[in-house]
Amino acid sequence: MSNLTEAAPAERHRHLAAQFAALIDGTTDWEVATPVKEWQAGDIVDHITTWPRQMLGAHGVELAETTGDRAEAFRAQTQNIQALLDDPETAGRVLHLGPMGDAPLAMVLDGFYSADLFMHAWDLAKATGQEVDLDQEAAAGFHAGLSAMGPGLQASGQFGEPVPVAEDASPVDRLMGLIGRDPAWTRPA
């Protein structure tokens, strides 16, 4: 996809899910360390295939539970989420997010789930020694959105303490540093 930042949520999800699926397919060891200190490679995929169903269920949107190995579970979830995004009525359904306000389902999935696919693609690629071409403009957009949360970002408990990066760091490196990843992290020998 040539311009991820201008894509509609359904198209962005389709692209990011395919990218993440390719990384799953290229993973041969689910127990390798990752840039997320507490997690192994398998934990990243397990996280991605668990929280969306829980979050959507809390808002009255049923997402079928996925089974099978990690690749099968992710592919099934991708189909289920894509179906939600491709249906204009469902995608436009307004979710009430408490203090964060109200937003259409498509925007919620885009802002939380697709962003998670993007960031965790970096984690999984680094952990497993794979290459992933992350869109620099999308990284800058995610960085801007997360930066706007200020101290609330780390207070959420979902991100580590920021890691300083060089002033001329790429947008992807700036994003990873913001969410507590060391952009220079390499997999242990």
Among residues 148, 149, 115, the alpha carbon closest in space to that of 134 is found at 115
112, 118 contact by CB (below 8 A): no
What pLDDT does residue 1 have?
47
pLDDT mean by block of 10 residues, the chain; 189 residues:
78 97 98 94 96 91 88 96 96 87 92 94 97 94 87 78 94 96 91
Mutual orientation of helices 51-58 and 70-86 as an angle, nearest 10°?
A: 40
In this structure, what token pair is assigned to residue 36?
């997320």
What pLDDT does residue 2 have?
53
What pLDDT does residue 116 have?
94
What pLDDT does residue 101 have?
81
Give Cα separations from 185 to 116, 151, 163, 177, 181 (angstroms).
Answer: 19, 24, 11, 11, 8
Q: What is the DSSP letter of 94?
A: E
DSSP H helices in 49-160: 51-58, 70-86, 88-91, 105-108, 115-128, 136-147, 152-155
